[in-house]
Amino acid sequence: MTAATKRVAVVTGGTRGIGLGVALALAKDGFNLCVCGLRAPEAAEDSLAKLRAAGAEVLYVRADIGSKPDRAALIEAVKAHYGRLDVLVNNAGVAPEVRADILEASEESFERLMRINLQGPYFLTQAAAVWMAEQKKANAAFEGAVINVTSISAEVASVNRGDYCVSKAGLGMATKLFAARLGEYGIPVFEIRPGVIATDMTSGVTAKYDALIANGLTVEPRWGTPEDIGRAAAALARGDMPYATGTVIHVDGGLTLQRL
């Protein structure tokens, strides 16, 4: 497969944590990549080198998903460099800077999380979807897909980070909306809901979740890993789940499984 014929995936927040796990899985599956993040390119070079070593051509774009100009620049960079986009993985997101009870939480924190976690991927998907639809019209064999990485917080209430929960629940509805809209083009839209995953974001609560997992929080008694999410995303990107657009895939070790 030549560089011109390899499928191209954009992974937001693709240089660390879950995003890097997803990007590595896609690289190993033969995708070329565009990953974006807030760090300077030299700060992300270790991650980019890992992706190249896995077989991918990698374009890095420094972009804030919560910024309209940055989202436009990201899409334009992919068009200029690759001339195609096959898979969009909306992974980038932030936690509240301060966890606060919903009776005390600030509007500023709410607005920040909505802008980055919901508004950003919503409108990035809009731009990518328009381009994917154009590619499908030009080539009936085109196989696109959108994958939203949300969280079990889309359905499990945490009253000390309500803004995060609402942003992830909103992205869950966005999955349904875009799945319904893009059906006519044969472009599936999926949602992956990770559980407790070992990343930089969760490093500050390691002791808490070690204890909870030891006491049965999850059916599978371990932390999840970025590789777990990557394998699920790669299966969706490959097209291993046909006739399943709009599906929500829980990768949470059984945390949300109802048990007596």
**How do residues 183-195 score in pLDDT, each as one tens digit?**
999 999 999 999 9
Which residues does the chain have with pLDDT short of 70?
A: 1-4
Give the pLDDT confidence score for residue 205 in this predicted structure. 87
Kindly give, in sequence order, each residue whose CB lies less than 8 Å from that of residue 184, ignoring residues fewer than 6 positions away: none
Give the pLDDT confidence score for residue 185 in this predicted structure. 98
Give the pLDDT confidence score for residue 203 in this predicted structure. 84
Give the pLDDT confidence score for residue 202 in this predicted structure. 87
Give the pLDDT confidence score for residue 200 in this predicted structure. 85
Find, among 124, 129, 132, the residue nearest to 7 by Cα: 132
Give the pLDDT confidence score for residue 247 in this predicted structure. 98
Residue 110 resides in a domain: yes
Cβ neighbourhood burial of 92 (10 Å; 0-12, 13-18, 19+)? buried
Between CA 217 and CA 237 the distance in angstroms is 30
Segments of the chain assigned E as strands: 8-12, 32-37, 58-62, 87-90, 145-149, 189-194, 248-251
Give the pLDDT confidence score for residue 55 in this predicted structure. 97
Give the pLDDT confidence score for residue 225 in this predicted structure. 98
Give the pLDDT confidence score for residue 8 in this predicted structure. 98
164 is catalytic: yes
Domain count, the chain: 1
Give the pLDDT confidence score for residue 1 in this predicted structure. 53
Between CA 143 and CA 132 the distance in angstroms is 9
Residue 218 resides in a domain: no
Find, among 190, 8, 187, the residue nearest to 82 by Cα: 8
Residue 216 resides in a domain: no
Residue 125 resides in a domain: yes
- Domain of 85 in residue numbering reads as 8-197+225-251
Between CA 83 and CA 31 the distance in angstroms is 14
Amino acid residing at 108: E
Tell me the CATH number at 25: 3.40.50.720
Residue 88 in tokens: 């969009």
Between CA 244 and CA 179 the distance in angstroms is 10
Check 60, 82, 122, 164 and give the catalytic one.
Answer: 164
In the DSSP assignment, the letter for residue 118 is I
Between CA 217 and CA 118 the distance in angstroms is 28
Residue 205 resides in a domain: no
Residue 55 in tokens: 């077989």
Cβ neighbourhood burial of 80 (10 Å; 0-12, 13-18, 19+)? exposed
Residue 138 resides in a domain: yes
For strand 189-194 and strand 248-251, is the pairing parallel, antiparallel, or unpaired?
parallel
Helix 120-138 and helix 68-81: axis angle, to 10°?
30
Report the residue count for the chain: 260
